[in-house]
Each structure stands twice: as structure tokens, then as C-alpha cells.
Chains A and B, each alone.
Chain A
Amino acid sequence: MRMRDYFQDKLGLLALSLASLLLIVLICLAFKVSGEAIWAISCLYLLTFVALFCFSFFKKKKFYTDFLQNIERLDKKYYILETLSMPNFYEGKILYDGLYVINKAMIEHVKNYELQMEDFKEYIEMWIHEVKIPLATLALMFHNHNEYDKKVLEQLRRIESYLDQVLYYVRQEFAEKDYLIKENLLAKMVNSVLVKNKDDFLENQIALEVKNLDFSVFTDSKWMTFILNQIINNSVKYMDETKEKKIVIFGSEDDSSIYLHIRDNGIGIPLQDIPKVFEKSFTGENGRKRSKSTGMGLYISKKLCEKLGHKIWLESKEHEYTEVIVAFAKNDFYQVVKSS
């Protein structure tokens, strides 16, 4: 709050005061008051005006300066009220009370949505679990009666994969503590994903090379297998039909992290699309060409990785390869937990 702006705002008041001073002077002249007295009255009047002006300015200055500064500095602007003390002048109180009521109404409004969201999330989770029961029944039925229609099982597996996508989307978006981090073997998690997708690999004649996975990392194995499943499904989806199809999965480590690499020799990703593949709903050139892409898999994977504290990125060269790398930080704290 600056003096000049405040002064400009009060110009009207100044004009009014000067007009009333002029009136007083004129009345004094009419009553033939002596010149010295008129001077004295005028000076006193102006002095009082300046004093009043300064008093009211400094009284408000602290409150409004804090107000503006804190708004500027706050990351979450709606907490502004918490940072201010109740002002000691009338307009300030009106503003303060007004803000309080607005804030409260907004909090209630947001809370309402939060509850609705929470309900929705619970409903979706429940619904997904329910749908998985008939899905399991169907898989058993086909296994028991139709002497192995692999194509049907493959479609069931696809439905399951899409269901999982929704489930984990809901979880990462709205749940804070839906995971549990413990020590897991990379080899075991990779194996479970590969066995699950076995028919896909065999059907599409994709060779697998799995090596150097004897690392244990701290992660949530359910979330991690979901992420691996998304990555591997992408590799299978974007294979190059003209080449000997192959996926190589291996681990590596340096001082700070353990890395899991999933490298395929598929169609790769155009250079301009690489920075965007982890964005929500991004399908890119490959997604458009091959049609069945929701653009959600990698986005959800990245979000889950962020929550778990892992890093995920990819390297690719069009027509040659795509390599997705997940980095698990080695943390001294984990070592302490491990040894205790």
C-alpha cells in the first residue's frame, strides 16, 4: 500500500475539505474576522486534515501491506486469512469477516466434492472387484469346456488389463496411502508379469531375454507389477512386424540407484513425441496409426512411480528400439530398516 495511491484515492476528500475551508474563509471575511485569525484557522484546519489523513493511512497500511504481500507469497492463496490478524478499523473488519464467510462456504463446497469423489472412488473400486469375479468364472469356463481357446483367454486378459488401468488410475488420483512399500525381488515381479503375458508372447512370436535381475528393491509389488505390465503391453503392441521380435529385460546398478531396463526392438517413437509420452491421454503418431491406444498407461505408470519415489523415463529411436528405464533409489534409510 503506497502513500501516493492512497492519496490519489482520497483526492475527492481533499477537494471537499478545500471547498469547506474556502467556505469558512468566506464566512470569516463576511463577519469581518481579522486577517491573522483567518490565517490561523486555515493553518489549523489544514494541519488537522493532514494529521487525520496520515493517521488513517498508517492505521490501514499495516493490514493491507500484509494482505498483499502474503497473497503474493502464499503458494495456496486461499490460506490468506490464516496469516492475518483481525484489523482494528471498520472497513478492514468488513473485509476480514467477508473473507471468512467466503472461505468457509468454499471449504464446504470443496469438501462436498471431496466426499462425492471418495464415494465414487470406493464405488469404482468395488465395481472393479465385482467384475473380476465373472471374469475369473469365464476364464475357468473356457479352460474347462472349450479345450483351450487361447484367443478367448487373450481377450479376457485384455479386459482385465483395462480394468486394472481404471483401478490404478482411481488409486493414484484419489488415494494417498493405498500402498505398502517393502522389499521385493525384481526377478520375481518381472517373472509374474511375463508368465501372465505368456500367451501374448508366444502368439506374437516374441523372443525374451531376461538377465541380471537379482536385485531387491523397496517398492509396492502390486503397483510395480501393474507398471511393468503396462510397459510390456506397450512393447508387445508396438512391435515391428518386419523384424525378429525381441524384448530384453535386465537390471543394472550404480552408487545411487538400481535400474530396471525393458528394451524392445519395435517401431520406436518419433523424436518429437518422446517428451510427451508420459502425458495424460497422449497417443502420438504411433497411437493414431495403431488405433487401440488410450494414452493412459504410461501416464498412470509415471504417477505411480512418483508416489513410490521411483523415476521412470524412456529412450527411443524411431524404427529401432524403445527402452523404458525404472530407477529405484538406494537409500541408506532402507539399509537401516533392512538390517534392524
Chain B
Amino acid sequence: MKKIFIVEDDRSIVSELEALLIHAGYAVEVLKDFQNALEEILRVLPDLILLDINIPYLNGEVLLQNLRKVSNIPVIMVTSRASEVDEVLSMSYGADDYITKPYNPTILLLRIQAVLKRSEKVLDVVSFKDVVVYLQKGMIKKGDIEVYLTKNEMIIFNYLLNHQNVIVTRDELMTDLWNNNEYINDNALTVNISRLRAKLKEVGLGEVIETRKGMGYFLS
């Protein structure tokens, strides 16, 4: 389980962030001792840090600079200061992404996922059960049977693959599609999912995408 470290001094936002991230399947630790922020981070060694700029003692940008001298842990700056200058500064200090408050929770999760993915080895080929998935080519293969997925179907399948064993809401899928420049509506999403199911059935993966009524989908 990926561990995310929250550096933020507003108590209520911390507890909500914590709930959001835990629900999304991450382990969460929160910074309590702002005076020794850097030591605390190095002790916890998280996979990713959500860093606010306006924090007590050292501000977030300075903390980031200090951190970068000793570590490459991915950092997403989360702040209400929304100017290009702040963003460019943060990026030049070594932040991996920059999000301004108030953020859409689904988008925040997507950005976290994207940064985590970038810090890992990018996999082009993954396997699911006894089926091989070629992400770049948009193809799934079982033995001699090759089935090509459209871009939309691939985005949906990829998102489900990355979130196995948790419920994925329609909104999450929709946000991911929109993020990838596919501006489709509700009906089109439904159509895409049923097409994806049909194609998965061709390679012997019938019924792997379950519908949880009123909640979303579940890949098992």
C-alpha cells in the first residue's frame, strides 16, 4: 500500500483529506511537529507528500528545497495561492505537481495517481488473470485471440486495473476520460462499458466488471 504524507496545518482539511485518501486505498500519515518537518518526513519515508505552502515555521517552498537536497520523494504542492509565479517557483524547487485549493477531490486523486505512476517504472504491458494487456497498443491478448480496444475503452479498463478490489464510481471514470481529452456524456460511458464487457468476454473474462448499484463498478 502506498503511503502518503500530509503536510498541512488546517485541522479540518487534514482530517477530510485523510478520510479521502484512506478510502481510496492509501496509507496516510500526518505531520504533527512542524518544527522538525524534514526529520519527520525522512523518518516516515512516504511514497508521496502533499505539501501546503502556508505552514508554520518554514514555509512549504523552503521545506521542499531542503527536502530536495536529501531526497527524491515525489511532492505535490497543495495551496490556495494561485499564481503562475508560485507554481513556477515550486516546480523549480522540485515539486512534481501543483494543485490549487479548492480542488475537486476526484481530480486530486487522479493527480496523485499520475505522480505515483511517473515515479515508478512505467509499465507498458500488464497481465490480468490469464490475459495480457498491451496498454500502448490498446490490445488484450489471450493465447491466439487478440482483441483491440478503442481509446475510451482502454482508458476505462486501465483505470479499473489500477483500482482493483475497490469500488470505482462513474464520476471517477468520467473524470479520467475527460482528463484524457475524451469529453463524453453519461450515455456514451454506459455504451463504452458494455462494449468493454463484450470484448473482455471474447478473451474469456466475462463478468469481471461487476456493477454495484448506485455506487459504481468493481473489477475482480
Contacts and interface: CB of A to CB of B under 8 A. Distances in A.
Interface of A: 128-130, 132-141, 143-144, 147-148, 153, 156, 160, 164, 167, 178-180, 182, 187, 191, 194-196, 198, 201-202, 205, 207-210, 220-223
27 contacts: A129-B80, A132-B80, A132-B102, A133-B13, A137-B10, A138-B102, A139-B102, A139-B103, A140-B19, A140-B20, A144-B105, A147-B215, A148-B169, A164-B82, A178-B85, A180-B84, A191-B178, A191-B181, A195-B107, A198-B175, A198-B178, A201-B183, A202-B186, A207-B185, A210-B183, A222-B82, A222-B84
Contact of A202 (B12, B17, B181, B185): B185
B136 interface: no
Interface in B167-220: 169, 171, 174-175, 178-179, 181, 183, 185-186, 215
B83 A136 contact: no
Contacts of B183: 194, 201, 208-210
B118 interface: no
Given A141-B16, A222-B82, A133 B186 contact: no
Contact of A140 (B13, B88, B171, B181): B13
A135 B175 contact: no
Contacts of A141: 16
Contact of B175 (A148, A179, A195, A222): A195
A136 B181 contact: no
Nearest to B170: A148
A258 to B, nearest CB: 19
Given A132-B102, A180-B85, A201-B183, A140 B17 contact: yes
B167 to A, nearest CB: 11
Contacts of B20: 140, 143-144
Interface string B79-97: 0111111011000000000
Interface of A is mostly: helix
A160 B10 CA distance: 19
Given A129-B54, A182-B88, 6 more contacts: A129-B80, A132-B102, A134-B12, A139-B102, A139-B104, A196-B107
Contacts of A138: 102
A140 B16 contact: yes
Size bin of chain B's contact surface: 35 or more
Contacts, number: 97
Interface string B95-111: 00000111111110000
B185 A196 contact: no
3 A-B pairs closest in CB distance: A140-B16, A136-B102, A208-B183
B32 interface: no
Contact of B83 (A143, A178, A194, A195): A178
Contacts of A180: 83-85, 88
Interface string B4-16: 0000001011001
Nearest to A142: B105
B54, B102, B185: which has the most chain A beta carbons within 10 Å?
B102
Contacts of B101: 132-133, 135-136
B105 A140 contact: yes
Given A130-B80, A137-B10, A195 B179 contact: yes
B80 A194 contact: no
Contact of A223 (B10, B84, B103): B84
A322 to B, nearest CB: 19
Contacts of A136: 13, 80, 101-103
